[in-house]
Structure 1
Amino acid sequence: MNQKDALHASNLELWPIGNCQVSGLIDRYGALVWGCVPRVDGDPVFCALLNGDSREAGVWRFELEGQVSESQAYERNTATLVTRLEAADGSAAEIRDFCPRFELSGRMYRPVAFARIVRPVAGTPRIRVVLRPMTDYGVKIAETTSGTNHIRYLIGTQAMRLSTDAPIGYIHEARFFRLETDHHFFLGPDEPFFGNLRSELRRMDQLTTKYWKLWVRGLHIPLEWQEEVIRCAIALKLCQHEETGAIVAALTTSIPEAANSERNWDYRYCWIRDSYYTVQALNRLGALDVLEKYLGYLRNIVDGARGGQIQPLYSVMGEGELDETTAAHLAGYRGMGPVRRGNAAYKQVQYDCYGQIVLPTAQAFFDRRLLRMADDHDFAALEEVGDSAWAMHDQPDAGLWEFRTRKEVHTYSAVMCWAACDRLANVAGAIGKPDRKQFWTERAEVIRAKIEEEAWVENGEDGGHYGASFQSDYLDASLLQMVELRFLAPDNPRFQSTFAAIEKTLRRGEHMLRYAAEDDFGAPETAFNVCTFWLIEALHLVGRDDEARVLFGAMLSHRTKSGLLSEDLDYDSGELWGNFPQTYSLVGVINCAGLLSKPWSTVR
């Protein structure tokens, strides 16, 4: 593939950068092809990833004249990316990408800004800068004005300013020029850049590097697969909007789950379910900063609901209205539209969310490491969530897979409602409320009995299994979570026979479907990556560790070069599909590594 063709080829070989305020995705050639401002769910000023075959707009790239090869790597234990471009004559340039993040004046400095440093590393490289942000979801290229050392890009009603020591005229005209010294680029707020740009960006680079290395240093990681776990942990951290504590499901919108499937969804929002799994995984690594911020977000969600229905998702600012529209001016990933903005799933009822609020919040009553432990007021608010779980445990909902055209009483939702009541009983016991402990224990027992009666499907030939819902006997992979949620023990005969039925029905070689039945868009065409990790966990729990390790290795082999995974995978070709990076999938890597790794005691 020549350079021109390569620049037009969309794929998920992407490298996230960010600072928990803004984020960007860099492609394998060092081009910023996805990035939204002023936050993750904002206007994608860099939208080339979803602009079909066109890479001439919505992009920021450095082109090396005569380029023949490229290589990339993160600086160890950081979110700073280094891309090396090499030309046929032996010349080479290096691009250093990061979003500043460090403590300044007692606060975390995390501006709406992208920092890039380009330097010559061999020969006499000639480069050109192509910087063409767009506005209003690809409607037009941003208009510009410029000064001596900056360019202003008008984006909607706001503006961003590029401060640089590179020749402004060359950038305006996208003209090749000889790179004889380091050049520094800071695309951020429309305000003068104070201080010496060169020294300030290098200082920001050093402080940002130090921040990430110290954050990673505080993680409790398994002995095996350390680099894999660290990279997933950093990516999960980048999916948190630190201002509010919300955690988005992915950094992108509308990467289809399968080719031309129209299963194109906007995942730049905070799903209560996805966030629960994210904080659970990071908590196992000791990343309490993410948990504490997220618990603050949940408290605001619960306060806003005032005892009413909890939505399955919210914006990172806690907004509930997320009307779904399409961006007509963006062709989509590989031209496979539509590109969606917003997500109609906010209108759905998904009763598993009650358990996913109670479970992470319950830790705040027990964990003395937290800066703010939960109190009686928090328990009272949490009991209102439990009341909703009790009221809705046997009512139809859209389920965790968000069916748009049908409702059933989904077993996973009922189990999550049971978990809400069960954990409230545990909390009540811990804070000296024996009457409330008894109250929630009795409710949990009633829900358990209902699940055992309504969800169990008798099958004399195979021993029976739990159904995905009370109304049907079809299977879905979420039933494997009954052990993780402590509803069943791994040696429970009902779990054993359910696992056997799921493996027989949903397993596709080394991968797992979430369900095989047709849904609103027909039969699923790809495996759901987190479900494959649930399969690996189940294999471990039933004592099939050797097989679990083989499957885990296979899943790791499908990661991008950045060490990450999207939501879905073509189980025939191995190609990744779906939004990227997908928090669910990264959680799977972390959880399975922790389960399968040899203990640290083996090397001490």
Structure 2
Amino acid sequence: MARVEDYALIGDLHTAALVSTEGSIDWLCLPHFDSPACFAALLDTRDAGHWLLSPVEGGTCTRRAYVEDTLVLETEWVTASGTVRVIDFMPIRHKAPDVVRIVVGVSGAVQMRSELRLRFDYGRVVPWVRHDADEMRAIAGPDAVRLCSPVTSAGKDWATVADFTVNAGDRVPFVLTWSLSHERQPIRIDAEEALAATTTFWTDWSGKGADAEGPYREPIKRSLLTLKALTYQPTGAIVAAATTSLPERIGGSRNWDYRYCWLRDSTYTLQALLAAGYLAEAKAWREWLLRSIAGDPSTLQIMYSIDGTRRLPEAELPWLAGYENSSPVRTGNQASGQLQLDVWGETLDSLNLAREAGIHTSADAWAIQVALMEHLEGEWQEPDNGLWEVRGDRRHFTHSKVMAWVAADRMSRAVADHHLEGPGKRWEALRDEIRADVLAHGYDSEHNTFTQSYDSKVLDASLLMIPRVGFLPGTDPRVKGTIAAIQNGLTQDGLVLRYQTSEADDGLPGHEGVFLACSFWLVDALHGAGERKQATTLFERLLTLRNDVGLLSEEWDPHAKRQLGNTPQAFSHFALVTSAFQLHSGRAHRSDQPLTKTTDGGM
């Protein structure tokens, strides 16, 4: 089975596919990110669905790369008989989703094989397949797929197989199209025209961003392209990752579905998009956020679906063995029903950031924010499940209290600075009350560090956010002490763990890798504390953990030297972008401040 870092991403702003270094598409959900997968080999064997397109002799490619600032992937094999290239992409969707693969003969003559094994409903449903002269049609229930190519294919071993030879100068297209089985089949697309249009789209989009010139231009651009690829264009939502159930520990059971949108990501999302000059995307994200959270403030969730749906029931898929036998495979996410008080703060922080960036605040949007704040006033003293969605007993998490302070701070300042209507003085008093409470119960004066929860000794990476949200300056001795404590007690090989995991936290055995976003938080904290050299060294080390096409998953295993968790992880890439812009500018930034002046970008 391919490693997590062996996969590249292609997508059409509705869904995404993962392509391995062996030329196999092992993950694809159609028609949307959170739809059932038709290729699920990522979480089992090839019998769960995949599409291999490679030289007959097989093996890992010689090289691969995206075409400049696009999401068009080129994979190349140098064989004994010649060199061949496969171009993979998904055209930006108009009506139907397409996956296009073009085999290009570079030199010599190379024998190729296409092996398409469709399995709907996460590998469980084998479709009825019919082969005609230049196309294959598969149907099962609501799903219909058509494969068009000048190469003749045939059924073999419950797969659609085509063997052919590509000579120098040849270009052999394959176009796979999904549709609803009860509707008329979509019009065929021309592969070469689609390639030109897709390349132009991504090149134009990347060119509309803010100037990212400097030593980190390439990782910034690639991260932004990845984040755009994780965007659901109809609503502006951005999924946390393209996958579900990739484990936080190989063989473990901390395997979650990340094909949803977390409110905790919202401030990072907006700050990264605004810093990069993508005001249209930032506006679309804010509008998705406002639609999703509208309603009774007591029912605010930590996550929503790409269209704002609230119910995300968690289920297990026992017919899938899991990635490297890491079971169970899950869909949905039980954590959507947890109480995480920090979400109120993160939501109000992000909406404040939008306001500071000049994005208009409507009367309805402000009314929603006031309702959220009024609810939090009565709830902030309650224990909760915390940022990390701990499935054990609720606690008084320090980070949750700090984010309640953020909510009161941002709302009181909105009244004072933007002359919006609300009880600003009351919120100022609440802000001061929460601050005193955190300093009294969330700070360990004996060890000069903030702690994970009140009156405990446990460390937590979320404490690195204290200067970022403006609760204390980065140079405050208590912040510096917390940084030092985390470096000494919550790192592996210099990289940051989320917290000290235990079975009591979620009832699940085993430990996880280092959380990549947390290591970027350490970059920011060090930078804000005046340790620029340390911050730069750590940041540049984190860049080396990206795979060959610049992607980061959720976690890193410092012992096995491999990526872990769902991929590509939006939180990792957002954190990379904000850290890079801070290092470019030489200034530390808070979450209530746009990183750069914004210009209108297009979506």
Consecutive aligned runs of 4 or more in structure 1 exceeding 6 Å deviation: none
Question: Does 2:369 match 1:382?
Answer: yes
Question: Does 2:232 match 1:241?
Answer: yes
CA deviation map 1:390-425 (0-9, x unaligned): 222221111011110111011111111211121122
How far apart are residue 434 of structure 1 and its match?
A: 6.7
- Listed as ranges, the matches of 1:65-464 within 5 Å are 65-67=56-58, 69-89=61-81, 91-101=82-92, 109=94, 111-169=96-154, 174-180=161-167, 181-190=170-179, 191-192=184-185, 194=187, 197=189, 200-220=190-210, 221-303=212-294, 305-368=295-358, 370=359, 373-433=360-420, 436-459=423-446, 462=447, 464=448
Cα 1:517–1:327 change in 2 (3 A) is closer
SS in 1 for 2:122: coil
Contact 2:47–2:123 (CA<8 Å) still a contact in 1? Answer: no
- Corresponding residue to 2:53 among 38, 62, 66: 62
Cα 1:11–1:298 change in 2 (3 A) is closer
Q: Specify the alignment match of 2:450 in structure 1.
A: 466
How far apart are residue 471 of structure 1 and its match?
A: 4.3
How far apart are residue 55 of structure 1 and its match?
A: 2.5
How far apart are residue 452 of structure 1 and its match?
A: 1.9
- Listed as ranges, the matches of 1:577-592 within 5 Å are 577-592=564-579
Contact 1:77–1:231 (CA<8 Å) still a contact in 2? Answer: yes
Q: Give the whole-Å Cα distance in 1 for the aligned partners of 2:106 and 2:395.
A: 61
How far apart are residue 568 of structure 1 and its match?
A: 1.2
SS in 2 for 1:124: strand
Question: Which piece of structure 1 moves more, 182-191 or 387-396?
Answer: 182-191
TM-score (norm 2): 0.90
Task: Report the identity percentage.
Answer: 31
Question: Does 2:568 match 1:576?
Answer: no
- The one-letter code matched in structure 1 to 2:277 is G
RMSD: 2.2
CA deviation map 1:95-150 (0-9, x unaligned): 1111112xxxxxx7374221222222211222121111111221133321344432
Report the number of matched residues.
Answer: 574
Q: Give the whole-Å Cα distance in 1 for the aligned partners of 2:344 and 2:561.
A: 35
Q: Give the whole-Å Cα distance in 2 for the aligned partners of 1:110 and 1:598.
A: 42
- The one-letter code matched in structure 1 to 2:492 is R
SS in 2 for 1:34: strand
Question: Does 2:522 match 1:547?
Answer: no
Q: Specify the alignment match of 2:547 in structure 1.
A: 560
Q: Give the whole-Å Cα distance in 2 for the aligned partners of 1:93 and 1:228.
A: 28
SS in 1 for 2:161: coil
Q: Give the whole-Å Cα distance in 1 for the aligned partners of 2:160 and 2:524.
A: 54
Q: Give the whole-Å Cα distance in 2 for the aligned partners of 1:503 and 1:157.
A: 52
Q: Give the whole-Å Cα distance in 1 for the aligned partners of 2:215 and 2:432.
A: 39
SS in 1 for 2:87: strand
- The one-letter code matched in structure 2 to 1:19 is D
- Listed as ranges, the matches of 1:37-48 within 5 Å are 37-48=30-41
Q: Which runs of 5+ in 2 are unaligned?
A: 588-603
Contact 2:513–2:558 (CA<8 Å) still a contact in 1? Answer: yes
Q: Which runs of 5+ in 1 are unaligned?
A: 1-7, 102-107
Q: Give the whole-Å Cα distance in 2 for the aligned partners of 1:454 and 1:411.
A: 8
How far apart are residue 376 of structure 1 and its match?
A: 2.2
Cα 1:536–1:254 change in 2 (3 A) is same
Q: Give the whole-Å Cα distance in 2 for the aligned partners of 1:439 and 1:209.
A: 53
- Listed as ranges, the matches of 1:2-13 within 5 Å are 8-13=1-6
- The one-letter code matched in structure 1 to 2:113 is R
Cα 1:491–1:183 change in 2 (3 A) is same
Question: Does 2:491 match 1:507?
Answer: yes
How far apart are residue 522 of structure 1 and its match?
A: 4.5
CA deviation map 1:164-219 (0-9, x unaligned): 33324489752422235322222224454546x5xx32222212211111211122
Q: Specify the alignment match of 2:8 in structure 1.
A: 15
Q: Give the whole-Å Cα distance in 1 for the aligned partners of 2:380 and 2:518.
A: 23
- The one-letter code matched in structure 1 to 2:79 is A
SS in 2 for 1:328: coil
How far apart are residue 523 of structure 1 and its match?
A: 5.9
Q: Specify the alignment match of 1:29 in structure 2.
A: 22
Cα 1:275–1:14 change in 2 (3 A) is farther
How far apart are residue 387 of structure 1 and its match?
A: 1.6
CA deviation map 1:271-312 (0-9, x unaligned): 111243233222221222322111111111222x32322111
Question: Does 2:472 match 1:488?
Answer: yes
- The one-letter code matched in structure 2 to 1:388 is H
Q: Give the whole-Å Cα distance in 2 for the aligned partners of 1:517 and 1:29.
A: 35
Cα 1:377–1:278 change in 2 (3 A) is closer
